Amino acid sequence: MKRSTVRLADGRELIYFDERDDAVRERPDLRELPPPPPASELRHDPLTDEWVAIAAHRQTRTFLPPADQCPLCPSRPGRSSEIPAYDYDVAVFENRFPSLSHRVADAAGHPEHEAGRSGYADVTPYTPARPGVGRCEVVCFTAEHDASFATLPPARVRTVVDALADRTAELSTLPGVEQVFCFENRGVEIGVTLHHPHGQIYAYPFVTPRTRALLAAARRHAEHTGGRNLYADVLAAERAAGDRVVAANEHWTAYVPAAARWPYEVHLAPHRRLPDLAALDDAERDAFGPLYLDVLRRFDALFDSPLGTPYIAAWHQAPVHADRELGYLHVQVFTVRRAADKLKFLAGSESAMGVFINDVRPEQAAVRLREL
């Protein structure tokens, strides 16, 4: 794989990950663009001990443009996109409408290109505010607008995994970054604003609430079992039981969690405990693609939909600095669709109380996914 870095017209970074070593990426971005927006504002909710990003500039981001105006397709003569090249394999670039950024505004609202400068004042004595320092990137899986991740060949999945591992390692070195989150939103039901096959990476300046909950449970388990890893024990139990296992190979197992929150939810986990994507070895990276594609194709076969099944694929990685021994790399794939004509809405219990009510037994979901 060849890695090439260029700058877009407004100074944002773009990185090509090419499967050919002779690829040349010198075509410039010919657009005239305004400067990137400054970082969002983070406000701390004292009632939940959670940070909320206030990113009003994202209201103007591109929303479901027609295919011939897609900003993630390669550029072509007479039309420049976010990707200056006329073709590409995998491309990663700084989001034009980021929730988090290293470009922090000063007290007068002028962009400061040094993280850590802030003109934000506390909203109340109980609600401190600070700049949303971090980074948001877009990951384009293919130049083909009408493709999906499930239609990629295993070799391309390997390139994507290598790109995510590269970005995880590099973003983890940025000042202030505490957690790196790689994910894909697929389908308008999820809320995507671009149809082109792509994912995103968020480099957060804090450990997210979900990860803090996972680490707290893992810490309690380690204290009560003499240091055993909770996710490793859960994975071993699922592999031994077998009734919720969807598919597996030498290095990975895909299974429906026993307490799945979503109607159809699968975890894919390596058999070796690893903190993050960067720690995967070559054999594990090669083995991931065929199994992941198998799971995504089973998801697409669940419902008779010409656009495929909407899903979220979320990589759970250990924090950058703290509790890395408690984490366990895995990707969680789930759909918000519970039937061909029904969505799983996060209504009162889920949205207000955080208590999920699943309409499909995990064992039944596993059986159906195995049979597809």
For 259-299, write each residue's pLDDT tens digit.
999 999 999 999 999 999 999 999 999 999 999 999 999 99
Looking at the DSSP bridge assignments, the partners of residue 137 are 94, 201
Residue 279 identity (one-letter amino acid): A
Backbone angles phi, psi at 233, to 5 degrees: -70, -40
Instruction: Look at the alpha carbons of 21, 26, 31, 32 in this order and tell me if their dihedral is positive or negative.
Output: positive
Match 């005239």 to its residue by tokens: 32
Give SS3 for 139.
Answer: strand
Q: How many CB atoms lie within 10 A of CB 32?
A: 8
Name 356's Cβ contacts closer than 8 Å, sequence gap at least 6: 261, 262, 349, 350
Looking at the DSSP bridge assignments, the partners of residue 180 are 203
Are residues 102 and 93 in contact, defined by beta-carbon separation less than 8 angstroms?
A: no
Active site residue ranges: 198
Give the chain's radius of gyration (CA, Å): 21
Name 43's Cβ contacts closer than 8 Å, sequence gap at least 6: 51, 52, 54, 123, 127, 128, 129
Are residues 87 and 143 in contact, defined by beta-carbon separation less than 8 angstroms?
A: yes
Rounded CA-CA distance 264/254 in Å is 12
Residue 73 has what pLDDT? 98
Q: Measuring CA to CA, which residue among 30, 2, 35, 28 is closest to residue 16? A: 2
Domains within the chain, CATH numbers bracketed = 1-35+62-95+134-372 (3.30.428.10)
Strand ranges, E, within 166-207: 179-186, 198-204
Residue 120 has what pLDDT? 73
Rounded CA-CA distance 271/10 in Å is 43
Across the 372 residues of the chain, what is the mean pLDDT of every consecutive 10-residue run? Answer: 97 98 95 95 97 92 94 97 98 97 68 48 93 97 97 98 98 97 96 96 98 98 98 98 98 98 98 98 98 98 90 98 97 96 94 96 98 96
Q: How many CB atoms lie within 10 A of CB 49?
A: 9
Q: Rounded to the nearest 5 degrees, what angle is found at the Cα of 337, between the Cα atoms of 245 and 267?
A: 25
Give SS3 for 40.
Answer: coil
Q: Measuring CA to CA, which residue among 366, 343, 21, 336 is closest to residue 185? A: 336
Judged by phi (left if over 0) then psi (alpha if -120 to 50, else beta), residue 116 lies in left
Q: Which two tokens stand for residue 309?
A: 């099944």
Rounded CA-CA distance 177/200 in Å is 16
For 66-99, write each residue's pLDDT tens digit.
999 999 999 999 999 999 999 999 999 999 999 9
Name 63's Cβ contacts closer than 8 Å, sequence gap at least 6: 193
Rounded CA-CA distance 338/317 in Å is 27
Q: Measuring CA to CA, which residue among 296, 317, 200 is closest to residue 254? A: 296
Rounded CA-CA distance 174/39 in Å is 15
DSSP 83: B
Q: Which two tokens stand for residue 52?
A: 């909320």
Residue 110 has what pLDDT? 47
Are residues 200 and 137 in contact, defined by beta-carbon separation less than 8 angstroms?
A: yes
